[in-house]
Amino acid sequence: MEDIYEIKKYQPSQKLLWDSFVKEAKNATFLFQRDFMDYHSDRFTDHSLLIYKNEKLVAVLPANISGSELHSHQGLSYGGLILCKKAPFEETLQVFKNLLNFLKDAGIEVLKLKLLPKIYHQLPSDEIDYLLFLVIASLTRRDFTSCVFNENPLKIASSNRLRGIKKGVKNELKVSEEVNFKPFWSKVLEPNLKQIHNQKPVHSLEEIELLQSRFPKHIKQFNVYKNEEIVAGATIFETVTVAHAQYISANEMGRQMGGLDFLFNYLLKHFSEKKYFDFGISNEAQGMKVNKGLLHWKESFGGRSIVHDFYEIKTENHKLLNDIFI
């Protein structure tokens, strides 16, 4: 009997079903839960999809639509096709093939995927990478992120980092984990971004407070103080396998006192039981440029690079997935 695949657009009434699937998937994080995805629903036209096999949910695609293109949700750092833990390759092939065919029939000519970096996978999940090769997907952007592999960490050998850590100790800096994001946002992060880049954080203070209230076990704030004055901080997004530094910043006093070196020496120890510590990307200009100073700082803590890939797929190429088995 031939399997029947069906694809449906996500509806708010399916929130519990969606979230339950994401929590059990092999290649998903809390960013794919609806309470995270929907906080900025006014900025994107959500077009997330649920894929069923014989009436059982086997995959979901967090997405938004723009004209004749469907995007891995542009409000998220990463995305791609989210798969259940038991999905074998042939089922994933049929899911992807049916997805492309469904999109083509709906008048969507291009699917743009930004893949979940592999450090976030809970099980091997490279089926999509192979299928992208088969459908002649175009690699449109490649960022790289610096991460520490905690099962085999490199020792901090940089004299600059060791000197910075000693400065922090000498200046009697203290690290505090907090639920109040306002000191860091208003006194460090926002002023720094305004002064250096003339930009604002991706998340406003109100948005990060909302998200933290929804995901208190996953979103954490660590601040550095000289006496009672905040001098540096980092916002951590914690998943099953990774502690990711979402925001990193220090004010002038913090820079002079070794605030960030002191803080990240602390954080690497604090999150040493995670498989990876992710410092985030050092790219600019859509991946074409590298912030050399930022990269060197991350690498001096033992961070080494993995890529974060963006692909563009013509939906008409679903036919290239026919007859691949011998």
pLDDT 10s digits, 138-181: 999 999 999 999 999 999 989 999 999 999 999 999 999 999 99
Same domain, 110 and 136: yes
Residue 290 lies in a domain: no
CATH number of the domain bearing residue 161: 3.40.630.30
Same domain assignment for residues 104 and 208? no
93 in a domain, yes or no? yes
Q: SS3 of 287, please?
A: coil
Residues 74, 159 within the same domain: no
The closest alpha carbon to 94, from 131, 47, 57, 69, belongs to 131
Residues 209 and 80 in one domain: no
| Residue 276 domain-assigned (yes or no) | no
Average pLDDT over residues 59-69: 95
Tell me, yes or no, whether 241 lies in a domain. Answer: yes
> Is the domain of 111 the same as that of 231?
no
Do both 118 and 177 map to the same domain? no
Q: Are residues 81 and 177 in the same domain?
A: no
Strand order in the sheet with 49-53: 5-9, 49-53, 56-61, 82-83
CB 117 within 8 A of CB 306: yes
Residues 134 and 27 in one domain: yes
Write down the pTM of the prediction: 0.94
Could you list the residue range(s) of the whole structural domain that residue 191 is in? 154-271
Whether residue 137 sits in one domain with residue 15: yes
Per-residue pLDDT tens for 229-247? 999 999 999 999 999 999 9
Q: Is residue 294 part of a domain?
A: no
In a domain, 303, yes or no: no
| Cα-based distances in Å from 183 to 62, 197, 205, 326 | 33, 20, 10, 61
129 and 168 share a domain? no
> Does residue 34 fall inside a structural domain?
yes
Same domain for 172 and 238: yes
Summarize pLDDT for 257-272 with one digit per residue, the tens: 999 999 999 999 999 9
Percent of the chain, pLDDT > 90?
94
Q: Per the structure, how many domains does the chain have? A: 2
What is the rounded average pLDDT for all residues in the chain? 96
On whether both 180 and 224 belong to a single domain, the answer is yes
Query: Quick check: is 58 in a domain?
Result: yes
